[in-house]
Structure 1
Amino acid sequence: MTDKKPDILQPVDDSARRLGKTLVRTARFASLATIDPLDGSPSVSRVSLATAMDGSPVFLISRLSGHFANLEADSRCSLLVGEPGKGDPLAHPRMTLIGTAENLSGTPARDQAKSRFLRRNPKAALYADFPDFAFWKFTTTRASLNGGFGRAYAVSASDLACPAAALESLSEIEEGAVAHMNADHADAVGRYALKAGAATAEGWRLATLDPEGLDMTSGDEVVRLWFDAPLMSAQELRPVLVALARKSES
């Protein structure tokens, strides 16, 4: 009789779901693994990352790259997110997303993907509209989350899903709301960043928002502030932002 292999996976709870979502929402880059059509070999590269409002990863790549051709031949791919940080890189959380990627060229989703991506990666504006570049949206089917030693989880797509009630209405107002906050309420954005764990309130800009929270950037740094509860409509955004600003003052 063979010994049963021990189950090293932990049950997926709200803490694991929040960690997984945070890794995706705050990722500046990812390792992209594609399938080489020549012989089926795995091929890995690095891509800059942002997210669609629903939390799906979005990346911008050139047709001149090998992974562009690989994805055209086979849309199956994986993304590894999670920054190593100081010390042992294996002690830091990371997550492998498994799924497929779709080229957004010629689709209605392309413009919003571009807007959100450039607010997270402003230097990409230099080449984002070059004819050989395209935005791709990743759809997760499952994920493997490692929160550090002894903290492994098999995460489903539903565990990482963003509540859908406010997605459409927030998408319609997001760009204007972000511009307004950065232009007229920079002090509040700084306080949001402090509440999210930033060391200082100086230099932060609101980059993107979604039904579950705010992403802010300062140079190469990214922090995320989660709402107490997901928004159900765009009309709830302003009262929530006002309440967060007041809380952060106290």
Structure 2
Amino acid sequence: MPNDPFLPVDQEARGTAKRLLRTARSGTLATLERESGFPFASLVGLATACDGTPVILTSQLSVHTRLMEQEPRCSLLLSDIRKGDPLAHPRLTLQALARRVERPSDMHDALRRRYLAHHPKAALYADFPDFSFWRLSVQRASLNGGFGRAYHMEATDILTDMTGLEDFEPLEEEALAHMNADHADVVALYAERLCGARPGIWRMTGLDPEGAQLALGDEIVRLSFPQRLSRAADLRPMLVALAQQARGESAPE
């Protein structure tokens, strides 16, 4: 019998998978043709709900929209494309169930806000009557972190536990506006000194209990928190502590 090629899932693997998911702006969506049984692959824009659930925006004219209506099982491939051999870099495959988000609804409004923060130009068509947001409910995943680094993962390895954080999402919008309007210099320090990104006018485009997305044009980096927040009220102290770290300051005793 051949050796099992899959490694035990550890925190580094979870971190890589979550970074890929949170920073990806597009992915390859494979849906199923019920009649033929063949998969149908499409390029889709991507964002995430606060818990990390993938969110896509599709037109009723798209083939993959009609296929998701018939058969919710689908797969989404995300890759960290850089210079050199594309197979030398991490990629993540998610198996999921697609669910259309009804509108009007509070969920639709929250996902619309997060999606447009990730894809500002989508505001041109997001509200067209034939466009809909879809949640891809993750069932399992497979991470290839590079040569010899393959992992089978459960949904709990990929998603963020929102237990006790039901009031986080209403706080997020206010926190993003505050950081971008009043602390743009700190956001840039997060990107440049904590994420190793190039200098520029960075903006904070998303927050969740495990980190933040920072964007400069189409470039997105992930600022991971040292630990998951257990309460929404812990967000401000976490951002302050990270600002002190970025400045090279010692935390007050």
Q: TM-score range by the shorter chain?
A: over 0.9
- In structure 2, distance between residues paired with 1:247 and 1:38: 56
Q: Residue 85 of structure 1: SS of its match in structure 2?
A: coil
What is the aligned partner in structure 2 of residue 38 from structure 1? Answer: 35
What is the aligned partner in structure 1 of residue 251 from structure 2? Answer: none
Of 48, 51, 74, which aligns to 1:51?
A: 48
1:114 aligns with 2:105: no
What is the aligned partner in structure 2 of residue 139 from structure 1? Answer: 137
Q: 1:46 is aligned with what amino acid?
A: L
Q: Residue 166 of structure 2: SS of its match in structure 1?
A: helix
Aligned residues: 246
Are the equivalent residues in 2 in contact too, given 1:75–1:100 (CA < 8 A)?
yes
Q: 2:14 is aligned with what amino acid?
A: R
CA positional deviation for 1:165: 3.0
CA positional deviation for 1:196: 1.5
CA positional deviation for 1:212: 0.3
- In structure 1, distance between residues paired with 2:240 and 2:100: 38
Of 227, 230, 235, which aligns to 1:229?
A: 227
CA positional deviation for 1:84: 2.0
1:198 aligns with 2:197: yes
Q: Which runs of 5+ in 2 are unaligned?
A: 249-253
Q: Residue 7 of structure 2: SS of its match in structure 1?
A: coil
What is the aligned partner in structure 1 of residue 65 from structure 2? Answer: 68
* Percent of aligned pairs with the same amino acid: 50
What is the aligned partner in structure 2 of residue 86 from structure 1? Answer: 83
Of 168, 180, 184, which aligns to 2:182?
A: 184
CA positional deviation for 1:121: 0.3
What is the aligned partner in structure 2 of residue 11 from structure 1? Answer: 8
- In structure 2, distance between residues paired with 1:122 and 1:167: 27
Q: Which runs of 5+ in 1 are unaligned?
A: none
Are the equivalent residues in 2 in contact too, given 1:178–1:208 (CA < 8 A)?
yes
Q: 2:131 is aligned with what amino acid?
A: F
CA positional deviation for 1:166: 4.8
TM-score when scaled to structure 2?
Answer: 0.95
1:20 aligns with 2:17: yes
CA positional deviation for 1:6: 2.5
Aligned-residue Cα RMSD (Å) equals: 1.1
- In structure 2, distance between residues paired with 1:198 and 1:145: 24
What is the aligned partner in structure 1 of residue 123 from structure 2? Answer: 125
CA positional deviation for 1:152: 0.6
